[in-house]
């Protein structure tokens, strides 16, 4: 009827454990709390998890305690080795109830994701690898791009969880989510380099770098990297949002996976070297857009 309020289904509270309350884990867990879910948080540094208490989350002392009553477990950890340690050495896998769905939203190697899925299945637990793109801005806004690998039924079961965090796409079997994330990070890292090198060339030749960025916006070379990271380059704002070290890890994961598949990735190889050199030259903890600084220094530009 005209003027009526559209009907929306009420949120059915889910019991969700979130393991890893860092730059991404905090806003994502907070959104789950605000969506009405029952969240139990764990982090190696307890104080980071305690920041969620005002939003209604419980804080567990160990990851095994966090997952004991959970229907869903979300991991947001540093790398695949840390995920394996938390799942299989710190008691999480054996503390899970039968049928619990583990959603690993960390960025790890595809082969690690497949291994974790198989080992959890042997214990009666389900698994999705579902890394994200969108950074802290997307995590805050609930607009993350979520790339999920695993069984379709498990993906559909996770829809209420994903709905609070962003837009999820099922891209294939176990490990495929991590493959999609590697593709994302390859494109991000390579495009950061392309934007930085192009803008520096213009500045070296006497053009106004900010105006060049403005001029090509909306054309065929436009991209989110040009808009967001290009602006950071113009402003020389390299405060960490996603660190050089993280980008380097992702490029190396991509090269490792390419090697396993017998796939040649020369462009990614070049940019792995450039990000490695940037890290060696003191930029490791700067934003990944600080590859601009490495390229500027190579050209005697400050």
> Residue for token digits 């380059």?
233
> Cβ distance 60 to 66 under 8 Å?
yes
Q: How many CB atoms lie within 10 A of CB 98?
A: 8
The two three-digit tokens of residue 126, written as one number:
């389900």
The DSSP-derived string for 200-235 is HHHHHTT--HHHHHHHHTTSTT--HIIIIIHHHHHH
- Which residue, 194, 195, 196, is CA-closest to 267? 194
Give the active site residue among 48, 181, 204, 211: 181
70 by DSSP, 3-state: which?
coil
Q: Rounded to whole angstroms, how far apart are CA atoms 132 and 221?
A: 24
The two three-digit tokens of residue 34, written as one number:
């605000």
Measured CA distances, 257 to 108, 109, 146 (Å): 11, 7, 20
> Cβ distance 82 to 43 under 8 Å?
no
β partners of residue 38: 15
Chain centre distance of CA 182 = 10
Q: Rounded to whole angstroms, how far apart are CA atoms 17 and 66?
A: 6
Active-site annotation holds for 181: yes
> Residue for token digits 């030259």?
281
Q: Rounded to whole angstroms, how far apart are CA atoms 7 and 236?
A: 47
- Which residue, 149, 154, 152, is CA-closest to 173? 149
> Cβ distance 146 to 168 under 8 Å?
yes
Residues marked active site are found at 181
């Amino acid at each position: 009827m005209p003027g009526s309020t559209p009907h929306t289904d009420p949120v059915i509270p889910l019991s969700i454990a979130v393991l890893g309350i860092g730059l991404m884990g905090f806003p994502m867990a907070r959104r789950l709390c605000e969506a009405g879910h029952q969240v139990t948080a764990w982090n190696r540094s307890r104080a980071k998890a305690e920041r969620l208490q005002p939003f209604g989350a419980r804080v567990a002392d160990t990851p095994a305690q966090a997952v004991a009553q959970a229907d869903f477990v979300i991991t947001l950890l540093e790398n695949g080795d840390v995920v394996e340690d938390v799942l299989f050495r710190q008691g999480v896998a054996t503390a899970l109830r039968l049928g619990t769905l583990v959603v690993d939203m960390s960025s790890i190697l595809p082969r690690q994701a497949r291994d974790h899925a198989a080992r959890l299945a042997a214990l009666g637990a389900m698994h999705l690898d579902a890394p994200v793109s969108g950074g802290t801005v997307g995590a805050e806004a609930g607009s993350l791009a979520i790339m999920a690998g695993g069984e379709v039924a498990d993906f559909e079961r996770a829809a209420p969880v994903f709905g609070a965090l962003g837009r999820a796409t099922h891209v294939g079997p176990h490990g495929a989510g991590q493959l999609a994330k590697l593709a994302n990070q390859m494109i991000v890292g390579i495009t950061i380099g392309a934007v930085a090198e192009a803008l520096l060339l213009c500045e070296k030749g006497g053009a106004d770098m900010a105006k060049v960025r403005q001029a090509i916006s909306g054309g065929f070379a436009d991209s989110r990297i040009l808009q967001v990271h290009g602006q950071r380059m113009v402003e020389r704002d390299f405060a960490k949002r996603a660190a050089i070290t993280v980008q380097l890890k992702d490029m190396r994961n991509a090269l490792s996976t390419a090697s396993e598949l017998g796939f040649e990735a020369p462009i990614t190889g070049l940019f792995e070297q450039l990000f490695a050199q940037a890290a060696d030259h003191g930029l490791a903890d700067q934003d990944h857009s600080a590859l601009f600084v490495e390229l500027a220094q190579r050209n005697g530009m400050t």
